Structure 1
Amino acid sequence: MKLTELAILYQEKLSALYDEDEIQSLFLIALEDVLNYKKTDYILNKQELVPDTALLKLNNILLGLAKGTPIQYIIGRTEFYGLKFKVNSSVLIPRPETEELVKWILERCQSTAVSGQDSQVVNLNSKVVNILDIGTGSGCIAIALKKHLPKAYVSAVDVSSAALSTAKDNGILNEVGVSFIEDDILDYKETYPVKFDIIVSNPPYIKEDEKPEMHENVLANEPHTALFVSNEKPLIFYEAIADFALLHLKKDGQLFFEINANLGRETIRMLDLKGFTDIRLRLDMQGKERMILAIKP
């Protein structure tokens, strides 16, 4: 079978699940995984015959996609902030919006940043920074920050031992030293003697009544404990992490959240009531209210 014929087969078999552009993107990811081909390589070689062993692998990927399995889980990896990460069903697949959160943190660390009090100026890149990532999952946030802030001390917490095992593998894969801790932020048992300059979290924030809006592939494959919260307490993790931050952030320390785009005002109000200052809301690339920064007074 020629590459161009295989591309047509992908379109035919996946048309019920994805649009044409998505299928082409999935096909190119499969080609890169199996043949190490980029898009240009495909264009130049689309009439070549696919070797039997490669064809078998590409067909197996197609079968998985047709069942609704995300390609990242099928090939066992993804990219985040220019780095490679192992992923499996114990962790969420990192999203582009979360890359924007990492970029915001790095901007604050690598430039002179004004803290909650306009008269005080802090350049976090001029000193050793202590960072804590809560609910780390695959470790994508913590590892990306450590990779770009090699002098920083970065710790990462998750309640799932399976997720932490994957995160540790990703730390080794990306050659960074991150301290991984198994703990439940809703009832944490660890002692955290160090005061942090930055606490960041992308906790579960999708309400149960928002499930119908989710893609079926996500519902069927990604860990629900990392996605969903009850309708009655949608900010349960944010409140717990904010309380934790009040105890464990340094004065003028920074708290970053990725948030539910429908709960921006509620999250800001909660942080304000707890005494945080200089609360800033940032939109993601789709124009949705997705990130919040707050300063510990």
Structure 2
Amino acid sequence: MQLDSVSKTSEYCYDLTRIVKQNEAGTRLEKFICQNFRSVIISKKLCRECFKRGEIFVNGKTAESARILQEGDIVHSQVNKLALEKDRLEIPDKTLLEDEYLAVICKKAGIPIRSLQESLAFVLDGGSGIIKEGKEYTCINKTQRAVNGLVIVSKSREIKIKLMALLKSGAIRQRYRILCHGKFPSLDEPFFHNHAPPFALQHVKFTRSTSGKEKYLTTLDIVLNNKSAISSAGIREYFVRINHPIVGSNSCSKELKSCKDKSLMMALLEVTFNHPITSEEIKVTTDEPEKFEKLRQRELKFFEQKKNETIKELRLYGIEISDQLDSRILPTAYITGEKEFFKLRFFVNQDTMIPRISTEYLVREVIDIFLNKLDSGFWKDKGRDSDNVFSILDCGTGSGCILISILHYILSLKLQIKKTILPHVFGLGLDINSSALDIARKNAERHLKLFISNNDNYDFQKVDFSNLHNYESVHNKGFDILVCNPPYLDIVRSLPDDDLRKFEPSNALFTEEGGYKFYRLLHESLEYSYINNLDILKKDSLVILEVGSKMSEKVKTIFAGWECIKSIRDNQGFERCLIFIRNSGE
């Protein structure tokens, strides 16, 4: 009886054989190898390397990876053990210095020291993959996984002991380069009286940035040559303590708004020490990783674009400002008193939130609902009775940008479409801030006066929307749509110093219960109104809510008795807008 699979292992290679079964006919050879020889060839990358070396055979002849197999084909591989091991390991970038006692190699970011050490037999002493008698490779300065840079390697136990003694005594000088947040103080400033670093610092350059309070990044060189700070971890912790964290997405670092990849902007560029045998001074350097300059140039480009846009907008309002923008400047919208939203310019001040692009999703959804009803012939020509009205309730209206944008679109549509039957449109904006309501009325006057001769299309009232059922002014109105962008930032959350939201009214941003308080209160108020027949909404009215990122599932849970019929995702893929309708059986 013929076996369909044979596996042998010698000192130098893996010898694998398998016969193709009927149900495997038509399979590509590469896929077949990955499926059936995965105990040895554990990835597609390793499989492709085997094909490159000509180690895969079909019916006794070397074969290409794309070959289609037939039933009865004999697939055989003779995989070189050392070559396979070399392919599996992370090999250093390059060897910069090597003699019979030691070496200095360059490590890529992302490679742990343990993995690097396993690969040294393929790099040093000819790179045969076999550690020669008397040799013992050890990485001396153990830089962290996320750090680029130089690693000193001993080749014997004796040299290891000597180099480790040099390292612990501070006799090995290591120069790191970092990119940190902010404009780092000059070395003679009083700042260092209370924050003396446990290493030597050398300034390299400052780069303008859109991130951070000071709008700067600093490139610094750090020299370790004493016992008190001999690890890259110690460097990162120091810069976090003094509020100038190193750029990165790792622990003890801080990412940039415009750069959220996994890179840590830290590299060991130079090591200097005396040779443990000859006492000759050895100095090895490597170039700064390309990612440093790419990030600096990208940040400078973003800064210049932002600066020019801000200066241009301010000059439109007759406000002259220096090219050197104050890092503590108010948001441009609060300086000009205006902000564009849904192609309209709205008055704003520090009693109102600055309109966000993300909130335009709510406007689009309400307009789409209106247009769909219009296309279906939903409204009849009955003058202004309750069957021929489209009404919107905007809870927490602020500047009025949501409600006014909706009304502006629909009322302008009335001017364009003469023959189609259009309903009377009415919007009511609610807010507890009188100053915000004044701004909303000013915006309505600005954008809606062209379409109406009186104010029978909109109104703004001082009402706490978390207690809608307590206000008779909204009873028996039967609104078609309730739209709301409530405060949803957790009140215990602290904003970074450079976050422009710090200038906005906190009660429009923050709330208790992890950010969910107003969703709960609005739901409870609507439930009370339904139970007591207050008719704030109709039976089939829709509630459209903006939600924070990763908040949608809990908001859906809070709105028990309501069905979420649609969710809209923003450009980052987060659910940003939820549309609810009350379950008919509730």
Q: TM-score range by the shorter chain?
A: 0.7 to 0.9
- Mapped contact 2:486–2:546 kept (Cα < 8 A): yes
1:59 corresponds to which residue? 321
2:570 corresponds to which residue? 284
Residue of 84, 108, 126 corresponding to 2:369:
108
Indicate yes or no: 2:475 matched with 1:187. no
5+ residue gaps, structure 1, are 1-10, 37-53, 114-120
CA displacement 1:81-126 (0-9 Å, x = unmatched): 011101110000000010122111211111149xxxxxxx884799
Indicate the SS of the match to 1:149: helix
1:141 corresponds to which residue? 402
Indicate the SS of the match to 2:320: helix
Q: Which structure has greater strand proportion?
A: 2
The structure number with the bigger radius of gyration is 2
Indicate the SS of the match to 1:129: strand
Residue of 487, 499, 509 corresponding to 1:204:
487
1:116 corresponds to which residue? none
Distance 2:434 2:324 in 1: 31
Indicate the SS of the match to 2:539: strand
- Mapped contact 2:397–2:429 kept (Cα < 8 A): yes
- Mapped contact 2:209–2:302 kept (Cα < 8 A): no
1:41 corresponds to which residue? none
Residue of 205, 224, 249 corresponding to 2:506:
224
Residue of 421, 430, 445 corresponding to 1:172:
445
Please report the TM-score for the alignment, with normalisation by the length of structure 2: 0.40
> CA offset at residue 26 of structure 1?
4.4
Comparing 125-134 with 18-27, greater Cα deviation is found at 18-27
Task: Decide whether aligned partners of structure 1 residues 169 and 263 sit closer, same or farther in structure 2, where only a CA change above 3 A counts.
Answer: same
Q: Which structure has greater helix proportion?
A: 1
2:552 corresponds to which residue? 264
> CA offset at residue 170 of structure 1?
0.8
- Mapped contact 2:484–2:546 kept (Cα < 8 A): yes
Tell me the amino acid that sits aligned with residue 254 of structure 1: L
Please report the TM-score for the alignment, with normalisation by the length of structure 1: 0.76
- Mapped contact 1:245–1:255 kept (Cα < 8 A): no
Residue of 427, 436, 444 corresponding to 1:154:
427
1:163 corresponds to which residue? 436
Indicate the SS of the match to 2:494: helix
Indicate yes or no: 2:508 matched with 1:235. no
Alignment of 1:14-33 (within 5 A): 16-17=214-215, 19=299, 20-21=301-302, 23-33=304-314
> CA offset at residue 29 of structure 1?
4.2
CA displacement 1:56-84 (0-9 Å, x = unmatched): x3217965x52141111111101000111
- Mapped contact 1:26–1:71 kept (Cα < 8 A): no
Indicate the SS of the match to 1:138: coil
Distance 2:391 2:458 in 1: 11
- Mapped contact 2:556–2:564 kept (Cα < 8 A): no
- Mapped contact 1:108–1:124 kept (Cα < 8 A): no
Distance 2:363 2:524 in 1: 22
Task: Decide whether aligned partners of structure 1 residues 257 and 35 sit closer, same or farther in structure 2, where only a CA change above 3 A counts.
Answer: closer
Indicate yes or no: 2:539 matched with 1:251. yes
Indicate the SS of the match to 2:440: helix
- Mapped contact 1:61–1:74 kept (Cα < 8 A): no
- Mapped contact 1:33–1:75 kept (Cα < 8 A): yes
Indicate the SS of the match to 1:162: helix
> CA offset at residue 277 of structure 1?
2.3
> CA offset at residue 214 of structure 1?
8.5
- Mapped contact 1:111–1:125 kept (Cα < 8 A): no
Task: Decide whether aligned partners of structure 1 residues 77 and 153 sit closer, same or farther in structure 2, where only a CA change above 3 A counts.
Answer: same
Tell me the amino acid that sits aligned with residue 181 of structure 1: Q
- Mapped contact 2:480–2:538 kept (Cα < 8 A): yes
Task: Decide whether aligned partners of structure 1 residues 178 and 60 sit closer, same or farther in structure 2, where only a CA change above 3 A counts.
Answer: farther
Tell me the amino acid that sits aligned with residue 205 of structure 1: Y
1:49 corresponds to which residue? none
Percent identity of the aligned residues? 28
CA displacement 1:185-229 (0-9 Å, x = unmatched): 23344211311100000000011244346952212x011000001
- Mapped contact 2:208–2:215 kept (Cα < 8 A): no
Tell me the amino acid that sits aligned with residue 149 of structure 1: I
Distance 1:13 1:276 in 2: 46
Distance 2:516 2:380 in 1: 32
Distance 1:229 1:252 in 2: 29
> CA offset at residue 21 of structure 1?
2.3
Indicate the SS of the match to 2:321: helix
Comparing 150-159 with 182-191, greater Cα deviation is found at 182-191
5+ residue gaps, structure 2, are 1-206, 217-298, 382-387, 412-423, 450-456, 530-535
- Mapped contact 2:210–2:303 kept (Cα < 8 A): no
2:338 corresponds to which residue? 77
Task: Decide whether aligned partners of structure 1 residues 187 and 278 sit closer, same or farther in structure 2, where only a CA change above 3 A counts.
Answer: closer
Task: Decide whether aligned partners of structure 1 residues 80 and 159 sit closer, same or farther in structure 2, where only a CA change above 3 A counts.
Answer: same
Tell me the amino acid that sits aligned with residue 180 of structure 1: F
Comparing 153-162 with 205-214, greater Cα deviation is found at 205-214
Task: Decide whether aligned partners of structure 1 residues 61 and 112 sit closer, same or farther in structure 2, where only a CA change above 3 A counts.
Answer: farther
- Mapped contact 1:205–1:235 kept (Cα < 8 A): yes
- Mapped contact 1:110–1:124 kept (Cα < 8 A): no
